[in-house]
Chain A
Amino acid sequence: MFVKKRSALLVLLLLSSGAAFAQKKPVAKAPAKQPAAGVSAAVLAAGKAVYTQNCLSCHQADGGGVDGLNPPLSKTDYVLGDKPRLINVLVNGLRGVDIDGEPYHNAMPAQTHLTDQQMADVLTFVRNSFGNKASAVTVGEVKAVRAAGKK
């Protein structure tokens, strides 16, 4: 199942049409017209696919989160700030931490089922969507945090 989905994604990426995601259902909103320098459309498309599959149900299609439960991903300190700290949210999950002064009463599950590439892509997508514009997260940066291991 996983394998199938992964290869399906690859095919989509190769086609790079993005049309498969343009269904009637709400999917993650299109990334910013002008992403940060060095961020390619292919990476954004790949990141969007990872987001739709793994993050959207909690953080929502518009990245606005859910009041009191799941934080927004637009212009938060975590998203725009220190990259290792951001990567660590996916590697170890997050719980009981106030985001920009607000408590959120759900658990952010670790996303260790994602590859380094998928983590880099989705974080790059998040950092260039929902009103954000920030540099890409690279596979190397993800690798480094994962190598440092769980907190």
Chain B
Amino acid sequence: MNNQLSRPFLLAAALVGSLGLYSLTTRPAVVAPDADNAGLKLPAGFGALVVAETGARARHLAVTPQGTIYVKLNRPKDGKGILALKPGAGGKATVTGGFGSYGGTGIYAKGGYLYASSDEDVYRYQLDAKGEVTNPAQPEKIISGLLNRGEHESKSIVLDNAGNLYVNVGAYSNSCQEKDREKGSMGRPGCPILDSAGGIWQFRADKANQTYGTGTRFATGLRNVVGLDWNAQNNQLFVMQHGRDQLHDIFPALYDTKQSAELPAECLYALTKGANAGWPYLYYDPVKKQKILAPEYGGDGKKLADAKYLDPAVAYPAHTAPDGLLFYTGTMFPAKYRNGAFIAFHGSWNRAPEPQKGYYVVFQPFQNGKPSGPWEVFADNFAGSAEKVASGRADHKPCGLAQGPDGSLYVSDDKAGTIYRIVYNQK
């Protein structure tokens, strides 16, 4: 299918009945890409449409088996921190309501429940057979008191297939310096932040009133994770870490601005219980392909870190801020995408004065639950132009990812609040 076909043409074609595939009677839920593919650049055969404009800071999103979309807002809009969108004509959707008076990032639907997080707590809502929340005003509070000290405050959530919920508790620091982000300030010995943050915590998904202290620290040494997902093929949690900032600002004698823009990599980690990815003691150098001792802990840009720490599964360009991770299990997209990972890169700021980078959705191929082969930019031009990428003044910033029941890929944008839907049309 040619993405450039206009809607009137499709309608006419359907009426004439010459294109059986698009006949309104046999396939009522025609998903029609926008004429300009919502402004996105996509691989051949893919199309995109703007599902809805929320005008809000749309962080993560979830789509129920019935196609209802729930969007978690960073800050409540008109008192509502979660928006509900009902599917409408042509694959678009309309905001039909909202609930939850708290801002936040995490939202996830599974097994008849909708889970959502503020920056301190996790709530659970019941979904009925139509995919609608039955108790919008009285959710169960399943976890409370997660640490929030303002920096790396967002709590992302995902469930495994054994009734566990995983939540990120980001480190309230860049690199565990005595004085956060101050020039030349050294690392705190035995970084005490790691006792209560800088990792992934595990809770039960079905138990009310769990407190921070009763959770299990599942993995540590992770500075800040926003995108995370459960890989069902390998039965394993994968997370995207936001790497440390400001190597040049803090240690100008060791790193120039160019090195500071390219270091360190944003890393994908495959976690097992007890894993330690080594923050703040190290960072990953994507050129040397090595774990380097952090300058706050005596590093000089060359000294290697202790080998005991977890190696990343894949390294991506520095500072591009991976905010969404999704393993694609649908059948709409061609076979190569199945069980691979999509990653939403929110876009950089810490590459200045070098040009900024990111503002795209990447595809990372996987085989048997392991990354396999080079990643590629899948959906680009959220920013609007190359100049807007370079200046960091992007029109849209991709943040959350979700898979629709038909295998469409949904992307949320927390800059302008656009909800995108990417479909594959070539048969």
Q: Write the residues of chain A forming the contact surface with B, with a CB cutoff of 8 angstroms.
A: 1-2, 5, 25-27, 52-54, 56-58, 60-62, 64, 66-70, 93, 95-96, 103, 105-107, 109-110, 112-113
Contacts and interface: CB of A to CB of B under 8 A. Distances in A.
B249 A57 contact: yes
Given A109-B182, A110-B179, A52 B393 contact: no
Nearest to A110: B182
Given A26-B353, A113-B183, A60 B392 contact: yes
B150 interface: yes
Nearest to A26: B353
Contacts of B391: 26, 61-62
B252 A26 contact: no
Contacts of A70: 349
Contacts of A67: 397, 414-415
Interface string B141-170: 000000000111100000000000000000
A69 B349 contact: yes
B421 to A, nearest CB: 24
A76 to B, nearest CB: 18
Interface of B: 57, 74, 150-153, 174, 179-184, 245-246, 248-249, 252-253, 257, 260, 349-350, 352-355, 390-393, 397, 414-415
A25 B248 CA distance: 16
Contact of B151 (A1, A57, A58, A107): A107
Contacts of A53: 252
Contacts of A93: 179, 182
Nearest to A55: B249
A105 B150 contact: yes
A56 B392 contact: no
Given A1-B253, A95-B150, A107 B181 contact: yes
Interface of B is mostly: loop
A129 to B, nearest CB: 16
Contacts of B246: 57
A60 B349 contact: yes
Contact of A105 (B57, B151, B414): B151
A26 B349 CA distance: 13
B393 A105 contact: no
Given A57-B246, A68-B74, A26 B355 contact: yes
Contacts of A110: 179, 182
Contacts of A96: 150
26 contacts: A2-B253, A5-B252, A25-B257, A26-B352, A26-B390, A56-B353, A57-B245, A57-B246, A57-B260, A60-B349, A61-B352, A64-B393, A66-B392, A68-B74, A70-B349, A93-B179, A96-B150, A106-B151, A107-B151, A107-B181, A109-B180, A109-B181, A109-B182, A112-B182, A113-B182, A113-B183
A27 B150 contact: no
B184 A113 contact: yes
B380 to A, nearest CB: 20
A52 B353 contact: yes
B283 to A, nearest CB: 17
Ranked nearest first, the 4 interchain pairs of A and B with the lowest CB-CB distance are A109-B181, A1-B253, A66-B349, A109-B182
Contacts of B179: 93, 109-110
Nearest to B182: A109
B249 A54 contact: yes
A57 B181 CA distance: 12
Contact of B180 (A57, A105, A107, A112): A107
Q: Which of B150, B152, B174, B257 has the most CB of A within 10 A?
A: B150
A151 B353 CA distance: 32
B153 A105 contact: yes
Contacts of B355: 26
Contacts of A1: 252-253
Contacts of A60: 349, 352, 392
Nearest to A70: B349
Given A27-B353, A56-B352, A62-B391, 13 more contacts: A25-B354, A26-B390, A57-B246, A57-B248, A58-B349, A64-B393, A66-B392, A68-B57, A93-B179, A109-B180, A109-B181, A109-B183, A110-B179
